[in-house]
Homo-oligomer: A and B are copies of this chain.
Amino acid sequence: MHKVHNFSAGPAILPQQAIDAGVEALKNFADTGLSILEVSHRSKEFVAVMEEARATVKKLWNLSDDYEVLYLQGGASTQFLTVAYNLLNTRASYVDTGTWSSKALKEAKRLGQVEVIASSKDRNYCYIPKGFEIPEDSDYLHITSNNTIFGSQYHAFPDTNVSMVCDMSSDIFSRDIDATKFDLIYAGAQKNLGPAGATLVVIKKEILGKVSREIPSMLDYNVHLSKDSMFNTPPAFPVYVVLQTLKWIDQQGIESIEKRNLEKAELLYKEIDNNELFKGTVDKEDRSFMNATFLLNDESLTDDFMNACKEANISGIKGHRSVGGFRASMYNALDLDSVKALVNVMQTFK
């Protein structure tokens, strides 16, 4: 079987060693003689997985015990609501940089005053707003670090005293950041972290307990914190594969992963800029290093280009309908060779 170059936007390519470890755990988990699918989440073997998965996030980001790590269900879409339930008292400020930011603020609006303090909607989200004012009395500022659909990314985060909340679903652990700039970070696992079905939440504990509303148990961060992510049965297998992915990230080192991600992105964007058949959709300074969105100048060539990609075993590059054209998602586990294969098709196509 030829290698598939997997540019899927999510669920997306994972390190082979994480998948291989998943296979082994399906067959015989931690030498229990049972599959990880049929072992109690209260068993010492699974509790150890959960603890290591929480600890590894803190290690990777060098976080003090002021922060705690949760593994929940429901994806970022559930966090859109949960964040507001737990943190929105008077008013919250949101930056709207695409589909997911818009959805996040839509859910928060049900619970209080939400102000869109900056937006790139005017140009179909092809840039990241900068230099906006952040009202000092905001309960929090919500941003989306990388916009999977539109292909833009913050390359510098706002400087503010307001508590920052960030949806990092599509670029978490792709680069060296100071996570302590944020009071809450959340991410659906299914891009850089692992399989669909697990959601990572990292919280600075002191921000909780400041709203007066009653919070349903499953949406209450304090409930989940008090039970070490085991208030109800966690998504055991997805969390297990997340742990294997985190271990791979730790072995590689985030700096080395960032370096490789830069190399991949530069190679592809160089071709997009130099190849007269194509054009990028995002302002150069705000281009995502994870999701590169680009168009054919002559749309009638779309099917031919898709076929050429298919012949080269390139998968998952059809663009989202909101942007059209193509999207190459280059998450951590994607090899430089896969980007070279795509660039090669683009050159040959010319």
A residues apposed to B, CB below 8 Å:
1-4, 6, 8-14, 19, 22-23, 26-28, 32-35, 37-41, 73-78, 80-81, 103, 106-107, 110, 188, 190, 194-198, 214, 216-219, 231-238, 241, 313, 315-316
Contact = CB atoms under 8 A, between A and B. Distances in A.
A77 B22 CA distance: 26
A103 B216 CA distance: 11
A217 B81 CA distance: 9
B231 A77 contact: yes
A4 B34 CA distance: 7
A8 B238 contact: no
A91 B290 CA distance: 49
Contacts of A74: 73-74, 78, 218, 232
Nearest to A215: B110
14 contacts: A2-B33, A4-B32, A4-B34, A11-B37, A19-B35, A32-B315, A34-B315, A37-B241, A75-B232, A76-B232, A77-B231, A110-B214, A235-B235, A237-B237
Contacts of A234: 196-197
Contacts of A232: 74-78, 188
Contact of A73 (B78, B81, B106, B107): B78
B26 A12 contact: no
Contacts of A28: 1
Given A22-B37, A37-B194, A238-B197, A78 B11 contact: no
Contacts of A73: 73-75, 78, 197, 235
Contact of A236 (B37, B107, B197, B313): B197
A235 B197 contact: yes
B233 A11 contact: yes
Nearest to A74: B73
B216 A110 contact: yes
Tell me which of A6, A8, A76, A218 has the highest count of chain B C-beta atoms within 10 A of its own C-beta.
A218
A33 B4 contact: yes
Contact of A40 (B10, B107, B194, B214): B10
B107 A216 contact: yes
